[in-house]
Amino acid sequence: MNALNALIRRDLTIAYRRWGELMTPIMFFILMTALFPLGLSPHPELLREIAPGVVWAAALLAGLLGQDSLFRSDYEDGSLEQLALAPLPLEWQALARTFTHWLGAGLPLVVLSPLMAMLLQYPAAAMPELAFGLLLGTLTLSLLGAIGAALTVSLKQSGMLLLVLVLPLAVPVLIFGAQSAAQAARGEDPSGALYLLGAMLVLGLVLAPFAIAGALRISLES
């Protein structure tokens, strides 16, 4: 586990050194939410209607944004082959690093959702459900994004094809996520959609590490 800690600490240090990484998700998220109201002529009730969609679009972006830099730089500077040779199984590494990336890109959305609720007139009463849904959803999206990143890291056409196949997997997450948020906003019970989100997360946690590790090995063999 010492090795796992070292890996996580390394990624966090690098994220911190690239100064922007810390500030950007927050600014990005506010700007992102600002975009939609700017586009429309915003009456509060309209905003409240689209708020779920907006938040979840932002979640998708944050999940996928910067994901390709997740393994790309390691591939290019040769750290990836070193990590592949390390005794620590690649599956564990994949899980740990996806989580570290999520800490920087996904978690801020969850933490900031109250602020966003205020900006978009989203009913404060439904906040907990929204945040919880985001917690589940962003994690799943990060795992999916990591698979895509691992596939594209060596820029092989096969990987590209597969990436195009992976992206649509995000759709169900978006649908159910936005649905749960909308239901909560209308005062209905969102637990159904939330259960589905949770199921997808569990599925992702079980399967994604193997997919990621396998994809990385393929990329290295090229």
Partner 1 sequence: MNISWTWFHRLASPPYFFRLAGRLAPWFGWLSLVCIVAGLYGGLWYAPPDYQQGDGFRIIYIHVPSAYLSMMGYTLLAVSAGIGLVWRMKMAHAVAAAVAPLGASFTFLALVTGSLWGKPMWGAYWAWDARLTSELILLFQYFGFIALRRAFEDPRSGEKAAAVLALVGLVDVPVIHYSVVWWNSLHQGSTVFVGEGSDIATSMLVPLLIMIAGFTAFFAACLLKRIQLEVLERESGAAWVRELLEDA
Partner 2 sequence: MIPQLSAQGLSLWRGGRSLSRALSFTLQAGEALQIQGPNGSGKTSLLRVLAGLGRLDEGELRWHGEPIHRSALYRSALLYLGHQNGLKSHLSPRENYFFYQSIASSSSEIAAEDALSQVGLKDVMDRPCGRLSMGQKRRAGLARLLGVEAGLWLLDEPLSSLDAAGMELVSSLLDRHLKAGGVAVFATHQPLPGLGGALRTLDLATAA
Residues that bind partner 2 (CB under 8 A): 2-3, 5-7, 10, 13-14, 17-18, 73, 76-79, 81-88, 155-156, 220-221
Residue 191 touches which of partner 2, partner 1, its own copies, none (Cβ within 5-8 Å per kind)? none
The beta-carbon contacts of 126-131 under 8 Å, at least 24 apart in sequence, are: 126/181, 126/184, 126/185, 126/187, 129/180, 129/181, 129/184, 129/190, 129/194, 130/52, 130/55, 130/180, 130/181, 130/184, 130/185
Query: Are 164 and 221 in contact, with CB atoms under 8 Å apart?
Result: no
Torsion sign (Cα): 211, 96, 101, 61: positive
Residue 79 touches which of partner 1, its own copies, partner 2, none (Cβ within 5-8 Å per kind)? partner 2
24 binds partner 1 (CB under 8 A): yes
The number of beta carbons lying within 10 Å of the beta carbon of residue 132 is 18
Our CB check for its own copies shows the closer of 21 and 91 to be: 21
Element (H or E) spanning 169, and its range? none
175 binds its own copies (CB under 8 A): yes
Q: Residue 88 carries which side chain, given as an amino acid letter?
A: L
The CA distance from 166 to 145, in Å, is 8
User: Which DSSP string do the residues of 64-88 spell out, in sequence order?
Assistant: HTTTHHHHHHHHHTTHHHHHHHSSS
144 binds its own copies (CB under 8 A): no
Query: Are 216 and 94 in contact, with CB atoms under 8 Å apart?
Result: yes
Angle between helices 170-185 and 127-152 (to 10 degrees): 170
Our CB check for partner 1 shows the closer of 8 and 123 to be: 123
Query: Total residues at the site for its own copies (CB under 8 A)?
Result: 58
Q: Which stretch binds partner 1 (CB under 8 A): 13-21, 83-91, 102-110, 183-191?
A: 13-21
Binding to its own copies in span 80-119, by CB under 8 A: 105
What x-and-dash track marks residues 199-218 binding its own copies by CB under 8 A?
--------------------
- Residue numbers of the site for its own copies (CB under 8 A)? 18-21, 23-25, 27-28, 31-32, 34-42, 46, 49-50, 52-54, 56-58, 60-61, 64-66, 69, 73, 76, 105, 152, 155-161, 163-164, 167-168, 170-171, 174-175, 177-179, 182
- Residue numbers of the site for partner 1 (CB under 8 A)? 18-20, 23-24, 27, 30-31, 34, 37-38, 42, 44, 47, 118-119, 144, 147, 151-152, 154-155, 157, 161, 164-165, 167-169, 171-172, 175, 203, 207, 211, 214-215, 218-219, 221-222
